[in-house]
Each structure stands twice: as structure tokens, then as C-alpha cells.
Amino acid sequence: MGKYVNYEIRYDHTAVLTLNRPEAMNALSEELLYELNTHIDNIKATDSIRCTIITGSGEKAFCAGADLKERKGMSEQQTIAAVSAIGEVARKIEMMGMPVIAALNGSALGGGLELALACDIRIAADHAKLGLTETSLAIIPGAGGTQRMTRLIGAGQTKRLIFTAARMTAAEALQLGLVEQTASSAQLLDEAMEMAGAVAANGPVAVKQAKTAINQGSQTDLGTALSIEHLCYKETITTDDRLEGLQAFRDKRKPVYQGF
């Protein structure tokens, strides 16, 4: 357990990372980012983990974004470096081979929402508020928010939300497609764990290749995307898990996948 990020493995195959600075709305201080980065590296190096959940402590905030108190004492160059550090962690989350679920236990604002946008799936507590509110501080999202939000919900809605620094409800975020699911605060982590369990029950190589095909294919034209999908499909054919899936189907039992 870290000072600012708690790390645990549940049910053997699911990693849970909990941002733990509730007194500061889980803001992204340099120390928290360092811990988060370290835990991500550890998860990537652990073959048995098939899904990761990122959430926050308390019910008030998932993450309020950059630590503005820390930022206040920074030079311009230090500020740019701090924003880049958030962007690098977000990119590392996006590039994890396994699915990553953001369980938004409270407000996700600025850099906090940018972290969530780098995850594969977002589940928001009913009371959560979400927004890329940087223009209200005379800056713009600098850790991928302008790009990832546009790819999720389109340019028009992204412009509306960023230009006005709007804070949307979880219900509005669901309607826009910014989050994939909502839940009561009491049920949020249980629902995220249920989803992670469903992911972990499937073939790990197949899930990884599906993520690769979706992420890479969505960045290019359809012809190239179909070629990417075909290459990813071929990666699953030589696995023992594929044979186990077929045998389990014949035997009318649940498959037991090993990840190879």
C-alpha cells in the first residue's frame, strides 16, 4: 500500500488502484503520479493480471486534476513538465495490454477526467460531476483531453464542453457516450469488479488483441483497420487457450484460460 495510491489484487486476476488523497480531492501531485506510474509498471509485469480498475478514495472526488497548490509555486517550464507528466501517465494507462476500467467514485475534473479518458471503460457514480474545466483557469486540457474526448463524443460536443468549462452530470455523460455505465455510489466498485470478472473470464490473449484492433483501427481508414484486425485475429489462432475454448464448448463446461 502506497502513501497516495493503494494497490491490491482481487480474485487473482484484477488489479485495483485507488487514488488516496481524499483531503485534496485526490489531486495529481508529483508524488501521487510517481506512485501511480510505479504501480502501472508492476501491473504490466504481472502476467496473471487480466484487468485493472482505477478509482479514488472517498465519495467526493475521483480526481480533481492537477494539484493547483503545488502548481502555484512552479515556474512556467515546471508547469509544462508537470502537465506532460500527467499526459505520460495517461498514455501509459491507454497502452496497457489489458482492459482498464475507471470507476469514477466522485468528480472527475481536468486532469482527473483526462486519466479516465485514457481508460477503456468508464463507470460513474450517479452523483459524480465530470468536466474538462481548464479554460476557466485560462489554460486548455494538456494531457490528452482535447483529443480523447473528441474521439469519444465528436468535435461539436467536445468544443461545447471545453469552451464553456462545463461540469456535466453522470447522466449527461452517459447520454453523450463519455461514460459507458452509471451506478449508485454504494454499488460502483461492485459493478466495476463484476465487469472486470467478466473480462478476466475470457481469453487474455484474445482480449488484448481485441483492444489492440479497436484502438489502432480507430485511428486509420477502414481498409487499413481491417488489415490490423486480421493481424490481431491471427495472433489468437496459435494459442492453447483457443483449443481450450473449443474443448470446453464441446464438453459443455466453462473454459479455464491460461493466457497463452
What residues act catalytically?
66, 111, 114, 134
Separation in Å, CA 222 to CA 73, 74, 79, 120, 211: 48, 45, 39, 21, 16
Cα distance between residue 248 and residue 256, in whole Å = 8
DSSP per-residue codes, 45-57: T-TT--EEEEEES
Whether the CB-CB separation of 127 and 144 falls below 8 Å is answered with: no
Query: How is residue 255 written as a grid cell?
Result: 473454459
Backbone angles phi, psi at 102, to 5 degrees: -95, 120
Burial of 157 (C-beta count, 10 Å sphere; 0-12/13-18/19+): middle
Whether the CB-CB separation of 39 and 5 falls below 8 Å is answered with: yes
Burial of 134 (C-beta count, 10 Å sphere; 0-12/13-18/19+): buried
